[in-house]
Amino acid sequence: MVAANDQQAAAYAALRPDLQAVADLTPAGAKVLDLGCGDGALLAYLVRHKQARGRGIELSEAGVMACVGRGLSVRQGHLQEGLADYPANSFDVVILSQTLPFLDDPAAILAEMLRVGKSALVSFPNWGYWRCRLELLLTGRVPLAPDLPQHWYDAPRWQAVSITDFAGFCQQVGIAITREIYLNRGRRARIIKVKNLLATTAVFRLEKATQARKM
């Protein structure tokens, strides 16, 4: 039992900090869909250590190969077309980690996530972080996202979003943020008040506002 716990602790420690937060917010035994699951590190952790029933959607062949290598069930494809195939409420949790800035149609994807899943877990980098603001002010260059390496020219789509932007959007379309975890350069930060200034990454649990009120 101790060995199993050690194994879990090691697997947890190996996860990217925002994925640790996502794992914390995923209930044990949940049915999980991970969008853009990459090499499957998070999904494998959830399946092995949180008894999740995991599924993934991933665009790259290398990612799908890695996931199958880990014994995961993953479909190759675009998120939009992949999501459309699932009946409503097929999953307890739909995950979108550090992918928001690269989506063609974020509003549609978020709506689909909350159709297919009872809740969504979203992590994204915060361009409202004070260093980003300062960099734009002082150098006139649009800053990189705090926790993402890509430049604007590296990806087909790259939209800069801050926590305030995202929260405002959620309110506008009737999405409730029911849990929030903030990271500052990889560490958990208790900064509810000045989060848009101090957080480098936000991890939110989202639900449909009507559903959240009932709970």
Question: Is the CB of residue 56 less than 8 Å from the CB of residue 43?
Answer: yes
> Which CB atom, from 7 or from 73, has the smaller least distance to another protein?
73
Cα gap 195→37, rounded to integer Å? 27
**What letters, b where the CB count within 10 A reaches 16 and e where it falls short, cover 168-194?**
eebeeeebbbeebbbbbeeeebeeeee
Side chain identity at residue 55, one-letter code: R
Total chain residues near another protein (CB under 8 A): 19
Of 31, 21, 201, the residue nearest 99 (C-alpha): 201
Cα gap 95→107, rounded to integer Å? 15
Name the minimum Å distance from CB 97 to another protein: 20
80 makes contact with another protein (CB under 8 A): no
Name the minimum Å distance from CB 90 to another protein: 8
Q: Which of 12, 86, 152, 169 binds another protein (CB under 8 A)?
A: 86
Give me the count of residues in the chain. Answer: 215
> Which CB atom, from 80 or from 178, has the smaller least distance to another protein?
80
Compute and round to an integer the Cα radius of gyration of the chain. Answer: 17
87 makes contact with another protein (CB under 8 A): yes
By CB under 8 A, the residues from 110 to 169 that bind another protein are none
Name the minimum Å distance from CB 180 to another protein: 31
Name the minimum Å distance from CB 206 to another protein: 23
> Which CB atom, from 69 or from 168, has the smaller least distance to another protein?
69
Question: Is the CB of residue 158 less than 8 Å from the CB of residue 150?
Answer: yes
> Which CB atom, from 5 or from 73, has the smaller least distance to another protein?
73
Give the phi and the psi of residue 72 in degrees, each rounded to 5.
-100, 160
Side chain identity at residue 38, one-letter code: G
Q: Which of 6, 7, 27, 85 binds another protein (CB under 8 A)?
A: 85
> Which CB atom, from 8 or from 90, has the smaller least distance to another protein?
90
Q: Residues near 61 by Cβ (< 8 Å), separated by ≥ 6?
A: 76
> Which CB atom, from 77 or from 143, has the smaller least distance to another protein?
77
By CB under 8 A, the residues from 39 to 78 that bind another protein are 55, 61, 64-65, 68-77
Q: Which residues contact another protein by CB under 8 A? A: 55, 61, 64-65, 68-77, 81, 85-87, 90
